[in-house]
Chains A and B, each alone.
Chain A
């Protein structure tokens, strides 16, 4: 029997967007029978995609970025033997960007074949679920509480407390819902976990079901993620086939059915009550709270709603113990966070690190500054509702409370970098424009406030009563913050105010003419 060389090429959507499929095909053709190409998730070194890894005696050797037309030359130069050729990056594990991280939630992403159940178990999968099923639901909830795990979707609510509420509620049926409506610009970790290691999410949801007494689960994935949807659906089928889902999971009393539901292009459905409305087949309009979803959630039943990364962290917590997880981090921000570097950054991708790492270490250290090579001017942390921070705040540690105290938020861990060509008044206007476009329309501060906010910023930029309008804008921001039903209207002021606070000079540049209003078919201005 001849030994085949195993070559790993990502099937991650980001890698595919720059040609990973063509590279994989070319390698398979060039290598012939001597090569087996395994499609994995991405290691998260996205500036190096398509990144190819070759299995050698020394470990996996990486090459990147590799273009399809370069493959034949690289193969001739010995890439399939792990030789030191063009684009050679050495041993994958020794690449500093990866070596210095602490991968817990993402430990298998880019390593395993995402749809191989055998691979999953070989790399430590299902250990957490086995352990959980040997415990009582109360013990599992206690373990998650003790780990200090907080919601990774942005709000940072302690997962254990939410689970305890659902466990204590009585109902004919309870649900576990995963919020995979990752609409925040600059965030892509949910997508990469679902595409690169979907069994981790499935295992986390099964553990949650056991912990709270749920029998049915839904993953709500945004329609912009077709690869994640397809991978997750195949993984769920495989999980059923292995007894990880369905009747009597792993021979236990737990029965848990899991379904994928697809969004339809509405940012607001990432808000948990809006997501529940959408799952019920309705317009994704936000609900008033109380009642909280933990007591009256999907179809009015007690429901756990957690983000992909929250649920994806659970298997490790159960497998290795709460103390191992809570040993990382600072203050009340325990464990690791999967940070995402995007925008104008030289080295974009995934950085999983304990809370407490500073913003500067992420942007300049891991990220290497801007892609354009110009100075960094602003960084938006936590998605479109997060604050814009200047370089002089790079000492801020990534920590929920420290960020809140600085008028910012960690959110889902997205970090978007801008160079010194950015017009921050334009970015503030965009925040309002985005809110006007994506508001569900239920509450007035958000629905009308965003439109008025955009108009007011237009006037400021046009130099019309700039001081008076800046005052008006601040008033409006206060009203939206205090009066909106959910975080969409409530947090849109955060990027706006931070832009005014840290980059005030951009609101007094040479006048930008007022945009000409366009009118829709019903006469509405837009």
Chain B
């Protein structure tokens, strides 16, 4: 660790160390950081570039390519509504519109394409927890009972 380095940078180095010896370890490292902080701080880009012998552009390119990696924390409860075809067949578009219209402060609404729950749609994920057969009332209840401070992403 470089002296005077930020805690985020130091954590990035330890994440790299944890995956030393693994082939092509950038994604597992980014997942570790995202799981811990809820986002990937842009400040880690030069650190990861140096540690992995990549250019900063390459590291930034990877972070920005994948939907999962956020550059800032998601505020409040995270609601991911599946908008893929199987859920659309059961009214996902109306559910998405309801979520965007009615879920206000403290809720981040995102679209997702397929949660693998296509026989029990519409499917929604609230703070990483999967729910099936979700209508507007059930979504409101799930959000109301969710803890806005709990971990937003799966630890993978």
- A residues bordering B, Cβ < 8 Å? 13-14, 16-18, 46-47, 49, 182-188, 191, 223-226, 229, 259, 261-267, 278-285, 299, 340-345, 348-349, 371, 380, 384, 414, 416-419, 422, 427, 430, 434, 437-438, 440
Contact = CB atoms under 8 A, between A and B. Distances in A.
Interface of B: 22-28, 30-31, 52, 58, 61-62, 65-69, 84-90, 112-121, 123, 128, 130-133, 154, 156
* CB-based closest 3 A-B pairs: A348-B119, A342-B118, A185-B84
A185 B87 contact: yes
A14 B119 contact: yes
A168 B89 CA distance: 46
Given A17-B131, A264-B66, A284-B65, A191 B116 contact: yes
Contact of B117 (A14, A278, A284, A417): A14
A416 B90 contact: no
Contacts of A188: 116-119
Residue of B84, B85, B112 with most partner-chain A CB within 10 A: B85
Given A18-B132, A299-B23, A264 B115 contact: no
Contact of B120 (A49, A264, A380, A440): A49
B27 A281 contact: yes
Given A224-B116, A226-B128, A416-B118, 20 more contacts: A17-B133, A183-B113, A184-B114, A185-B84, A187-B116, A223-B156, A261-B27, A264-B30, A265-B67, A279-B23, A280-B23, A281-B62, A282-B26, A343-B86, A343-B89, A348-B118, A380-B85, A384-B113, A414-B86, A416-B85
A479 B140 CA distance: 44
Given A14-B132, A17-B117, A187-B118, A279 B84 contact: no
A299 B117 CA distance: 33
23 contacts: A13-B116, A14-B116, A17-B123, A182-B116, A185-B85, A185-B86, A186-B85, A188-B117, A223-B154, A224-B112, A262-B27, A278-B27, A281-B25, A281-B26, A282-B24, A285-B65, A340-B118, A343-B89, A345-B119, A384-B113, A416-B89, A427-B88, A430-B88
Could you tell me the dominant secondary structure of chain B's interface residues? loop
Contacts of B90: 343-344, 371
Contacts of B123: 17
Contacts of A224: 112, 114-116
Contacts, number: 156
Contacts of B62: 281-283
A266 B67 contact: yes
A417 B85 CA distance: 9
Contacts of B67: 264-266
B116 A262 contact: no
Nearest to B30: A264
Contact of B116 (A225, A299, A371, A380): A225
A266 B66 CA distance: 6
Given A223-B68, A342-B119, A267 B113 contact: yes
A171 to B, nearest CB: 15
B8 to A, nearest CB: 19
Contacts of B156: 223, 226, 229, 262
A17 B25 CA distance: 32
B154 to A, nearest CB: 4
Contacts of B22: 259
B118 A185 contact: yes
A348 B85 contact: no
Residue of A266, A282, A371 with most partner-chain B CB within 10 A: A282
A435 to B, nearest CB: 11
Contacts of A229: 154, 156
Contacts of B133: 17-18
Contacts of A284: 65-66
Contacts of B66: 263-266, 284
Contact of A185 (B23, B24, B30, B114): B114
B120 A46 contact: yes
A416 B132 contact: no
Given A265-B66, A266-B65, A427 B85 contact: yes
A518 to B, nearest CB: 13
A225 B156 CA distance: 10
Given A13-B117, A13-B130, A283 B89 contact: no
Contact of B85 (A14, A17, A278, A430): A430
Contacts of B89: 342-344, 416-419, 422
Contacts of A345: 119
A275 B9 CA distance: 28
A458 to B, nearest CB: 16
B129 to A, nearest CB: 8
A271 to B, nearest CB: 14
Contact of A183 (B69, B114, B117): B114
Contacts of A341: 119
Given A185-B84, A186-B85, A299 B118 contact: no
Contacts of B84: 185-186, 384, 434
Contacts of A14: 116-117, 119-120, 132
A224 B133 CA distance: 18
Contacts of A419: 89
Contacts of B117: 13-14, 17, 188
B112 to A, nearest CB: 7
Nearest to A438: B113
B92 to A, nearest CB: 10
A264 B118 contact: no
Residue of A266, A342, A430 with most partner-chain B CB within 10 A: A342
Contacts of A223: 31, 68, 154, 156
B39 to A, nearest CB: 13
